[in-house]
Amino acid sequence: MADTMQFDLVSPEKMLASVPVTAVQIPGTDGDLTAMPGHVPFITTLRPGVVIASTDKGEMRYVVTGGFAEVSAERISLLAERSLLAEEFTQPRFDEMLEEARVQRDSAKGPAHDANAKHFADIMEAGRQLGLQASKV
C-alpha cells in the first residue's frame, strides 16, 4: 500500500489543491471522516466545514460550503460549491457567508427551513474551528 494518495480540491472558480497527501479530514453530510491511502471507495456529499489535508510539509486547511467527495484507494477528489484557503476565511468573509445563510434560513419554511438552519449552524462551526466569532446570531 502506498504512503500517499492524490488529493484534488476543485471549486467552480479554480483548482485549489492538487497534491499528494497522507490523510484528508472531510466534513461529510453524514459526519466527519478521514480518508487515507488504501481507503475503500465511496462518494459522499459535503456539508460546510473545514477540510484538512495532511502532507509531508504539514497541514493544508480549506473551508468548503458543500459539494461532493469521491474517495478511492489512490485518490480523493473534492468538488466544492465554494472553497477557499482557511487563511482567506477572514472575519469579514465569515460574516458575509453567515449573513447569506441567515437570510436563506429565515426566509425558508418547513423542511427547507430545517436544512437551511443546519447549513447556518455548519458555517458557524467552521468559523469557530478557525477562531472566528459571529458578530450577530
pLDDT for residue 136: 64
- If one compares 137 and 126, the residue with the highest pLDDT of the two is 126
| 134 domain-assigned | no
3 state DSSP class of 36? coil
The pTM for the full model equals 0.91
**CA triple 135-127-137, angle to 5 deg:** 35
> Minimal CA–CA distance to 49: which of 123, 131, 99?
123
Q: H/E element holding 40? A: none
Q: How far apart are CA 50 and CA 48, in angstroms?
A: 7
Q: What is the pLDDT of residues 43-77, one digit of tens each?
A: 999 999 999 999 999 999 999 999 999 999 999 99
| 136 domain-assigned | no
47 and 80, same domain (yes or no): yes
Residue type, 98: L
What mean pLDDT comes out for the span 9-20? 95
Residue 134: band (very low, low, confident or very high) from pLDDT cuts 50, 70, 90: confident
CATH number of the domain at 55, please.
2.60.15.10
Q: What is the pLDDT of residues 100-126, one digit of tens each?
A: 999 999 999 999 999 999 999 999 999
77 and 93, same domain (yes or no): no
DSSP-derived pairing of the beta strands 31-35 and 5-10: unpaired
Residue 108: domain span: 89-129
Q: How many domains does the chain have?
A: 2
What mean pLDDT comes out for the span 81-104? 94
4-8, 23-27, 110-114, 133-137: the lowest-pLDDT one: 133-137
80 and 93, same domain (yes or no): no
14 and 67, same domain (yes or no): yes
10 and 76, same domain (yes or no): yes
